Amino acid sequence: MTAFAVGGLVVSATLSAFTYLWARTYLVDQRQSSAVHQADANAQLMRTLLEPHSPDVARLLNSLQTPSTAQSVVWHAGRWYGTSALAGPDALPAELRSAVISKDRAARQRYQRSGAQVLAVGIPLSRTDSYFEIFSLSNLDSTLGALGESLIAASVLGFLVSLAIGAWATRRVLRPVREIGAAAAAISAGRLDARLDAGGDQELAELATGFNSMVDTLQRRIERDARFASDVSHELRSPLTTLHSAVTVMQRRRHQLDAKAARALDLLGDEVNRFDHLVEDLLEISRYDAGVVHVDLEPVDVVALTKGLLAEADQAVELKATGADATIVIDRRRLAQALRNVIRNAVIHAGGLTAAAVSVGEQWTEISLEDRGPGISDDERNAIFERFARGRAAGRRSSGSGVGLGLALVAEHLRLQGGTIRVDAVNPSGSCFVLAIPTRRPLS
Amino acid sequence: MASRILLIEDDDRIRETTRLVLEDEGYDVEEASSAEEGLALFERHPSACVIVDLMLPKMDGFECCRALRQRSDVPIVVVSAKNDTHDVVAGLEAGADDYVRKPFHAKELTARVRALLRRAAGGGQPTSVIRLGDVEITPDEGVVRKRDEPVSLTKTEFRLLCEMATHPGQVFSRETLLDNVWGYAFAGDGKLVDTHIHRLRMKLEDDAASPRHVITVRGLGYKVSP
């Protein structure tokens, strides 16, 4: 838009400048030729009137038909005569005087005199006489000045008009672009039903139709992916349910089995659980990928929740709670799943938790879960929250080592609620996972 | 005598292993592989509790819940294989009392069933009549009247109402209600409470959209106004 206005300004300024220059040349030429004509006529007259040693040259000069803007000066027999006191040899430039008097040829010159433009025309009359006439060009100056001013005004007006047209045109041209931008932003934010209005201009309608069909394709693809995840989940869940129940029935009769069969049953049970967690994490994380995640906030007592989850995982550590009221607004299911995954990670890789704490602060609520396992090296500290990272277990599938979706999901679950997870080193060895979520109090 | 449970599930393997688990817990189990078959069985021989898979051929689990509700206040547990809560909420709105998701752990399912049966058996209820405006609750008879007309509540709805009505004006968080009414020690699903509150309002309020008896306390939970 600015470019358009500047372009308008350049065009109108250039046009004005040309107009001005052309008008000035034309007017100056006109003025000069009429001045030369007038001077010529007066010179002829003087030539006939002027006698050698005329006694009253000044009176003769005054009888000439000169407008008030012109003054006549005569060089006669070695003396200067002028129509006024100001009109003397000093009023004429030296070059002009010498050109006319000494070189005996007609000449003219434009110059500044007491701050105004003047034109002097000199015509030799005889060997001893010369006639000069000085024309004021101040009229011309003021005409040109007025012209210049009105041209500048026109340029400014032109600039403003082009600014206005530019703004209007830009808005009109950019409106569809803005709409596309807004629609694209809405789609990125997960509102897959955002579409452009395909009515209106022919060309814009084509753009809108193209955009809409692209989004349709995208939406179908995302929905297909999400449906695929859901279909897979259903297909995997049925056999998993059967496996769970079958293992439960066998575990009730574990004492009837011999040592080998009992061990095999335990392994089977562990693997079924692992498979179960894997499917659960995979489904949950695929929902993030499909962009179909909605946070579900409610007031939850985080101390009670953490206590319950520790008991569920048979972690006999005392929970240290600081802060008066532990009820904050969170997504309960997701926080519970995040905590379960961190606890499970500690059980699998570090032999279980050694300490647990909940601190509810003004701004942040932190849940710390500490283990005395092998710890996590500095360069692995961030990588463990990426998908399929495996930490130390990488490459040597130890008992129940996860495929590394669990902690990535923890990070996603916390991020969804504006929280974070970090892992600190513990002396002499071990890790402390700290889940931090903003302390939002229920409305009361 | 062992409680009889009706298990409606179309996947043969799941049905069989679930029966084994429930029998291990000491229940009698009747199996049905379709909603139609299950409803016919229930008609002949009402059971103490029904477990229904939501995805069934022909008549689905939601329909099945509604059909069961028309004839009985029997506790119903629905089984969902989907991850989204939409399914579960729809099941609860169709009249279910509780739900489990596949793959469910046998422990989890039996815990839900046990809690429902314990509640159905009653006990621990106050005996005096409670009045809330035009609503009258007689806990020991399990009867609720609105302007002297009896209102038909399921056992879970009734317990939820009694739980709150014994302390009118007190705010109950969803956690507390899950704990006291459904027997979840922790980490239950608040939607269970929300859908039951909704069902209670549909039955008790003149206008469920602007309730006078069962009030939402934003950000905290629910209360019954005295």
Q: Which residue of A has its CA nearest to B102?
A: A237
Residue A333 has pLDDT above 70, yes or no: yes
Please report, for residues A19, A38, A112, A141, B37, the alpha-carbon distance to residue A23 in angstroms, rounded to integers and kept in the order given: 6, 22, 21, 12, 105
Smallest CA-to-CA distance from B175 within A413, A409, A326, A322 is with: A326
3-state secondary structure chain B: CCCEEEEECCCHHHHHHHHHHHHHCCCEEEEECCHHHHHHHHHHCCCCEEEEECCCCCCCHHHHHHHHHHHCCCCEEEEECCCCHHHHHHHHHCCCCEEEECCCCHHHHHHHHHHHHHHHCCCCCCCCCEEECCEEEEHHHCEEEECCEEECCCHHHHHHHHHHHCCCCCCECHHHHHHHHHCCCCCCCHHHHHHHHHHHHHHHCCCCCCCCCEEEECCCEEEECC
Which of the listed CATH numbers 3.30.565.10, 3.40.190.10, 3.40.960.10, 3.20.20.70 matches domain A295-438? 3.30.565.10
Same domain, B18 and B111: yes
Closest CA to B132 of B118, B144, B117: B144
Say which residue, A60 or A266, is predicted with more confidence.
A266
Residue B73 lies in a domain: yes
Q: With a cut of 60, say whether residue A395 has pLDDT above it.
A: no
In this prediction, residue A299 carries a pLDDT of 83
pLDDT in tens, B162-179: 888 888 888 888 888 888
Structural domain includes residue B125: no
pLDDT over threshold 50, residue A397? no
Asked if the model's pLDDT at residue A396 lies above 50, the reply is no
CA-wise closest residue to A47 among A125, A123, A121: A125
Q: Which pLDDT belongs to residue B9?
A: 93
Q: Give pLDDT, residue B126.
A: 55
Instruction: Give contacts of B 160-189 with A, CB under 8 A.
Output: 173-175, 185-187, 189
Q: Which domain holds residue B218?
A: 130-224
- Residue A287 in contact with partner chain B when CB distance is under 8 A: yes
pLDDT band, residue A389 (cuts 50/70/90): low
Is there a contact between A230 and B83 if contact means CB atoms under 8 Å apart?
yes
Chain B residue numbers with beta carbons less than 8 Å from the beta carbon of A329 are 219
| B102/A240 CB distance under 8 A | yes
Q: Flag whether pLDDT at A399 surpasses 60.
A: no
Q: Residues B174, B146: one domain?
A: yes
The answer on B113 and B136 residing in a single domain is no
- Lowest mean pLDDT of A91-105, A295-309, B48-62, name the range: A91-105
The C-alpha of B81 sits at a distance from chain A's nearest C-alpha, in angstroms, of 6
Asked, for residue B18, whether it belongs to a domain, the answer is yes
B154 lies in some domain: yes
Task: Say whether pLDDT at A398 is over 60.
Answer: no
- Final residue of a domain: which of B75, B99, B120? B120
Q: B83 with B183, same domain?
A: no
d(CA A131, CA A41): 11
Name the residue ranges covered by the structural domains of chain A.
2-145, 202-287, 295-438
| Residue B175 belongs to a domain | yes
Q: What whole-number distance in Å separates Cα of residue A271 and Cα of residue A397?
A: 13
The confidence score (pLDDT) of residue B186 equals 64
For testing the chain A interface, which of B82, B83, B222 should be mutated: the one with the most A CBs within 10 Å? B83
Number of neighbouring beta carbons within 10 Å of residue A269? 17
Say yes or no to pLDDT of A88 above 90. no
pLDDT beyond 60 at A401: no
Q: Is the pTM of this model over 0.80?
A: no
* Cβ pair A329:B219 closer than 8 A: yes
pLDDT of residue B31: 94
Q: Are residues B138 and B176 in the same domain?
A: yes
What digits encode the pLDDT tens for the residues B29-60? 999 999 999 999 999 989 999 999 998 888 89
Q: Topology of domain A2-145, per CATH?
A: Beta-Lactamase (3.30.450)
> Is residue B101 located within the same domain as residue B134?
no
Chain B residues close to A443, C-beta within 8 Å = 218-220
pLDDT score for B167: 83
On whether residue B84 sits in a domain, the answer given is: yes
Q: CATH number, domain at B150? A: 1.10.10.10
Local confidence band at A47 (pLDDT 50, 70, 90 cut-offs):
confident
Asked whether the beta carbons of A180 and A211 are under 8 A apart, the reply is: yes
Q: Is the pLDDT of residue A422 over 50?
A: yes
Assess whether B97 and B134 both reside in one domain: no
Q: What is the pLDDT along chain B (226 residues), one digit of tens a residue?
A: 678 999 999 999 999 999 999 999 999 999 999 999 999 999 998 999 999 999 888 889 999 999 998 888 899 999 987 766 788 888 888 889 998 888 888 888 998 898 888 876 655 555 678 887 888 888 777 788 888 888 888 888 888 888 888 888 888 888 888 888 888 766 677 788 888 999 888 888 888 788 888 888 877 789 888 7
Average pLDDT over every residue of A27-56: 82
* Cα–Cα distance for residue pair A84/A81, rounded to 1 Å: 9
Rounded Cα gap, residues A212 and A204, in angstroms: 12
HSE-CB at A87 with a 13 A cutoff on CA atoms is 23
Instruction: Write down the pLDDT at residue B27.
Output: 93
A178 has a pLDDT exceeding 60? yes
Give chain A's mean pLDDT.
83
- B150 and B181 belong to one structural domain: yes
End-to-end CA distance of chain B: 41
In this predicted structure, which of A26-35, A385-394, B147-156 has the lowest mean pLDDT? Answer: A385-394
Where is average pLDDT lowest: A214-218, A342-346, A403-407?
Answer: A403-407
Kindly determine whether residue A245 and residue B102, on different chains, have CB atoms separated by under 8 Å: no
Residue B39 Cα, gap to closest chain A Cα (Å): 23
Residue with more model confidence, A203 or B170: B170
pLDDT tens-place string over residues B98-113: 988 888 888 889 988 9
More confident residue, A171 or A354: A354
Verify that B10 and B116 share a domain, yes or no: yes
Same-domain status, B193 and B213:
yes
B219·A300 Cβ contact <8 A: no
Q: What is the identity of the amino acid at A73?
A: V
Per residue, the 3-state secondary structure of B130-146, as one string, reads EEECCEEEEHHHCEEEE
CATH code of B28's domain? 3.40.50.2300
Which of these three, B120, B143, B174, is where a domain ends?
B120
User: Measured between beta carbons, which residues in chain A are less than 8 angstroms from residue B187?
Assistant: 305, 308-309, 332-333, 336
Fold classified for A202-287: Helix Hairpins (1.10.287)
Which residue's entry shows tokens 């058996």? Answer: B121
Which of B102, B120, B138 is at the close of a domain? B120
Q: How confident is the model at residue A294 (pLDDT cuts 50, 70, 90)?
A: confident
Per-residue pLDDT, averaged over A194-202, amounts to 77
Distance CA A119, CA A72 (A): 12
Residues B13 and B103 both lie in one domain: yes
Q: What is the mean pLDDT of residues A277-281?
A: 83
Domains in chain B: how many in total?
2
Q: Are residues B138 and B114 in the same domain?
A: no
At residue A53 the predicted structure's pLDDT band, cuts being 50, 70 and 90, is: low
Amino acid B48: pLDDT: 92
Is the pLDDT reported for residue A258 higher than 90? yes
